[in-house]
Amino acid sequence: MTDHNYDVVIAGAGIAGLTAGLLSARAGRRTRVLTGPALGGHLLSIEHIDGYPGFPDGIAGYDLCPIVQEQAVAAGAEFGATSVTSLAAHEGRWRVTTGEGELRAGVVVVATGTTSKALGIPGEARLRGKGVSHCASCDGPLLRSRAVGVVGGGDSALQEALTLARFASRVIVLHRGTTLSAQAAYRERLRDHQNLEVRTSTVVEEMLGDTVLTGVRTRTTTDGTETDLELAGLFVYVGLTPDTAWLNGTLDLDSSGGIPTDDAMRSRLPGLFAAGTVRSGSVGRAASAAGDGATAAVAADRYLSDGAWRV
Ligand SMILES: Cc1cc2nc3c(=O)[nH]c(=O)nc-3n(C[C@H](O)[C@H](O)[C@H](O)COP(=O)(O)OP(=O)(O)OC[C@H]3O[C@@H](n4cnc5c(N)ncnc54)[C@H](O)[C@@H]3O)c2cc1C
């Protein structure tokens, strides 16, 4: 019979959860990593991770994450392809309810990351997956030589626009603000692509098309002009929401839904840690998420050794 008792259960297998799994298993703790819907998380769909140590030319998330998983498995971590649906404290340990039954753990590390925000405009729900996407490297190649739009003005939007410029005939970045907030390196790279255009002060009001996206209706905020643009794809990067709804009041969250922690990734509840972008104040980079995972695993090991929770 399977033993469902673990030292450490990790909810999430993005780079934060994978790194926490690796270090926890290396510390000799019986560790289970629950992957949720996507082993690799957001990185899985990123073709070129910028700024990750050790890879000066970038690396694809779908190459990096399986390597870290293999490393974690070699160290003894067990993986389960299921989601955590709730947590409850019970006699100094955690009861972890998953899609495949209940586990018990001395420590839980929440590394469930974020979900891309929707625009919440007419046509969006109907056309999601039918031209409306949050993943340029997944859906960009299907739109080769077509015109596509990108909504947003931050790092993610520009990085994905640069990926799309390799496939699409034309990429139009639609940004509601007057200036792009993305880092200078991305703004400078826009100039290398003649098929890439930026329209600021532009709001997307409606997605058009019955069964597939055929275009969008935009409004210019300066003078209210409405324009219909013909587009075969629209990629939306207008922010991220921490994946914490499933915690359902187990602990207090910040106003954005993130989990407040101290420097050791400890939440306010004994034995409950958070790592990566699900955490309040995360800087949102892959390297910082991996660092959070490592810190949580080391702090969890100490907690399991001395039982103390000094926040
Ligand atoms: C378009 C885009 C481009 C980016 N480019 C870069 C870049 O170039 N360089 C860089 O450093 N950063 C980049 N980032 C940021 C980077 O992707 C994140 O910082 C990093 O992926 C966060 O990792 P994470 O493990 O915290 O969360 P995530 O990657 O969000 O992973 C969350 C994990 O939790 C799982 N999960 C969710 N709910 C549950 C549940 N209930 N139970 C169990 N598991 C669950 C998911 O399946 C997933 O495995 C980019 C982000 C985006 C959106």
Domain coordinates of the chain in residue numbers?
5-115+240-306, 118-236
Distance from C-alpha of 100 to C-alpha of 86, rounded to nearest angstrom: 12
Beta carbons of 244 and 253 less than 8 angstroms apart: yes
Q: What pTM value is reported for the model?
A: 0.92
Q: What is the CATH number of domain 5-115+240-306?
A: 3.50.50.60
**What's the pLDDT at 275?**
98
Beta carbons of 286 and 292 less than 8 angstroms apart: no
Find out whether the beta carbon of 117 lies less than 6 Å from any atom of ligand 1.
Answer: no
Beta carbons of 292 and 275 less than 8 angstroms apart: yes
**What's the pLDDT at 263?**
96
Backbone phi and psi for residue 222, each to the nearest 5 degrees, phi listed first: -70, -40
For the CA of 16, the closest atom of ligand 1 is 25
For the CA of 46, the closest atom of ligand 1 is 3
Q: Quick one: average pLDDT of 240-255?
A: 94
Q: Quick one: average pLDDT of 169-189?
A: 96
Beta carbons of 54 and 163 less than 8 angstroms apart: no
Q: How far is the CA of 152 from the centre of ligand 1 (A)?
A: 18
Q: What is the CATH number of domain 118-236?
A: 3.50.50.60
Distance from C-alpha of 300 to C-alpha of 265, rounded to nearest angstrom: 9
Ligand 1 pocket, mutate which of 9, 42, 151 (most atoms under 8 A from CB): 42
**What's the pLDDT at 1?**
52
Pairing of strands 93-98, 101-110: antiparallel
Q: How far is the CA of 13 from the centre of ligand 1 (A)?
A: 9
**What's the pLDDT at 183?**
93
- Report residue 265 as tokens: 């990734």
Q: How far is the CA of 184 from the centre of ligand 1 (A)?
A: 23
Q: How far is the CA of 225 from the centre of ligand 1 (A)?
A: 37
- Reply yes or no on whether the pLDDT at 81 is more than 80: yes
